[in-house]
Amino acid sequence: MAHPVVHFEVSGPDVRRLADFYASLFGWRMQPVPGIDYTLIDTGGTGINGGIEKVTDARPATTFYIETDDLQSALDKINLVGGKTITPITELPGMATYAIFEDLDGLAVGVVLAHAGATPDQQQPAPVSAAAGNADAVPVNHFELLATDAKRSQQFYAEIFGWQVTTADTGSGMVDTRTGRGIHGSIGAGEPGPWVTVYAHVGDVAAVLAKATELGGSRVHGPVAVDDHLQTGALRDPAGNIVGVYHHAPH
């Protein structure tokens, strides 16, 4: 099967503070899950949705989840080629079945079991609610892995998940997950990584970075003009999670 990236996650000791931060910054809708310290994020109906996990004994980090129809087989392949399972297969009744692994750089990435009956190009049901998306909210539609060795990391993910990576002269590779579902991304190397993050498509990179600082976060870098049409940046939220932002102007 194809292996799309279908969910992202940030974490920290104060879920409510992070929920307020992202709701104010991006217009995302929040839905706390009864009985567990987890809040679902509705980004507005395009791209992928996400979640906020409460952690007190680990460093907060952004991650994303890759869909598979066989969690154990994926973990076996990951462990065989040098990765490591750090959270075994876990079922959250009525929500998801997932696991988390570390890749060759020790970056944590999740795998999640596909819904029964899903077809390769069928969008999964949003994990938040049946309510219409917020038209003013900011979509998350790109993921990024910055490794210590771009080629090694690209080969790792291509071998495990069948992703197609098109490499530029810089060594960075654009990732096609080979399905119309989920989001695509990139795998590269260098500063300020290594990291794993997702990118939100915003109207004004500089304004969003400034607002993030006003709300208790900080600017990691940017705005950076990649070309005449693309500008990027990254922010650190109040818990320390890193999230990218970009603006792509029409040609």
pLDDT tens for 104-124 read 999 999 999 997 644 333 344
Q: Does 58 have pLDDT greater than 50?
A: yes
Model pLDDT, residue 28: 97
Question: Which amino acid is located at 64 in the chain?
Answer: F
Give residue-wise pLDDT tens across range 164-209. Answer: 999 988 889 999 999 999 999 999 998 887 999 999 999 999 999 9
Give the CA angle between residues 36, 143, 51 to the nearest 5°: 15
- CATH numbers and ranges of domains, the chain: 5-114+138-248 (3.10.180.10)
Q: How confident is the model at residue 134 (pLDDT cuts 50, 70, 90)?
A: low
